[in-house]
Amino acid sequence: MSQLRRLLPSLNTLVAFEAVVRCGTFARAARELGVTSPAVSRMIGRLELHLELSLFRRTPSGVVLTEDGNKLFSGVSRSFGDIERTVSELVGRHRVPRRPIVLSVSAAFATHWFMPRLARFQARFPGEEIQFQLINGPLEGPVEGVDISMRFDPRPGDKVKVFPLMRELLLPVCSDRYEGARADAGSLLPAAARMITLSGSKFHWAELFASDSTQQTASELLFTDYTLVVQAALVGQGVAVGWFSVVSSLLAGGALVPARAELVPTGRRCDLVVSRWPHAEVVNEICQWILDEYREDASLVAMRHPDIAPVLLSELASIER
């Protein structure tokens, strides 16, 4: 190596030489190296002067290697290739592969909340992959082996910590195309309203929103999957109980509207559970991103629907704390 240093003005001149040959012109080589064309020209000039050799013939269309230049390039490109392969092998051997962030959430949340903003997530966290562990029933179950879990009323423990998100809020929702099914706060929903119901849910629309428990409706659609409940409401099939944690962005964007101007807190909380095992800081950043997205949704919904703004603004205040 000491002999090589005496034979060359600097190793950078060899890098510039190899780049010029591959790129065909000084200008393209300069762009690749992040320097100016005159800087590349000066490095080639220093190399030729030091070696007392002419390495290129300048032509109107670019540069052409001389016989000496061709011999030098053959040795340089072979050596650079060996160095590149060796370094790549060493780096690849010791680099810990990036694994997906595992997110345990409801299928409805993944479908109606996360997927529409996937591009925003990817822009905020380039290179990060999300792997969903989908829950089709109640938000419960073990959180071991999961980076982030959405759960109701979770408890912190030795192995997990709780990232506060929001209270569980419910409201009747429908498509803005579903005519004649809206009511003011405290008023009955029209008798013609078709109810879209989640089978087995502990929260039924009549118990939550009807001022008169004897109120009758025209018909009822019953689903065992909340993803389909929301989808049915989106396509104008009736009125559904909306979990704000799932439908917030649909309300913010106007795809769904409150069928009645009322938000009902259930007394439970919907929070994120994060495993305490050593994990990348990005997990905490993703939790904060989800919280920020909910905060933005709540602000937009409050502006669109002033009748429910007081509850949402109160919720925003609690989120800020």
Instruction: Name which of 100, 101, 106, 102 is nearest 134 in CA terms.
Output: 106
pLDDT at 187 over 80: no
Instruction: Name which of 273, 250, 266, 283 is nearest 165 in CA terms.
Output: 273
C-alpha to C-alpha distances, 72 to 15, 17, 19, 23, 34, nearest whole angstrom: 12, 9, 13, 16, 23
* Ordered DSSP codes for 100-132: PEEEEEEHHHIIIIIGGGHHHHHHHSTT--EEE
* pLDDT confidence bin for 275, thresholds 50/70/90: confident
Lowest mean pLDDT among 67-71, 191-195, 257-261: 191-195
Instruction: Name which of 313, 217, 320, 201 is nearest 260 in CA terms.
Output: 217
* pLDDT confidence bin for 250, thresholds 50/70/90: very high
Judge residue 161's burial from the number of C-beta atoms within 10 Å of its C-beta, 0-12 exposed, 13-18 middle, 19 or more buried.
middle
- Rounded to an integer, what distance in angstroms lies between the CA atom of residue 286 and that of residue 284? 5
pTM above 0.75, yes or no: no
Judge residue 5's burial from the number of C-beta atoms within 10 Å of its C-beta, 0-12 exposed, 13-18 middle, 19 or more buried.
exposed
Q: What are the two backbone dihedrals, phi and then psi, of residue 152, each rounded to the nearest 5 degrees?
A: -90, 130
- In this predicted structure, what is the pLDDT of residue 214? 47
Contact 241, 170 (CB under 8 A): yes
pLDDT at 264 over 70: yes
Q: What is the pLDDT of residues 90-110, one digit of tens each?
A: 766 655 557 889 999 999 999
Q: Which domains does the chain have, with CATH numbers?
A: 2-94 (1.10.10.10), 101-320 (3.40.190.290)
| Assigned token pair, 136 | 């089709």
| Assigned token pair, 305 | 């629907």
- Rounded to an integer, what distance in angstroms lies between the CA atom of residue 133 and that of residue 116? 18
- Rounded to an integer, what distance in angstroms lies between the CA atom of residue 224 and that of residue 227? 9
pLDDT at 271 over 50: yes
Contact 173, 258 (CB under 8 A): yes
Contact 103, 130 (CB under 8 A): yes
Q: What is the pLDDT of residues 154-171, one digit of tens each?
A: 777 667 788 888 888 999
If you average pLDDT over every residue of the chain, what do you get?
A: 82
Lowest mean pLDDT among 276-280, 296-300, 303-307: 276-280
Instruction: Give the type of residue at 295.
Output: R
The DSSP H or E segment spanning 221 is strand 219-223
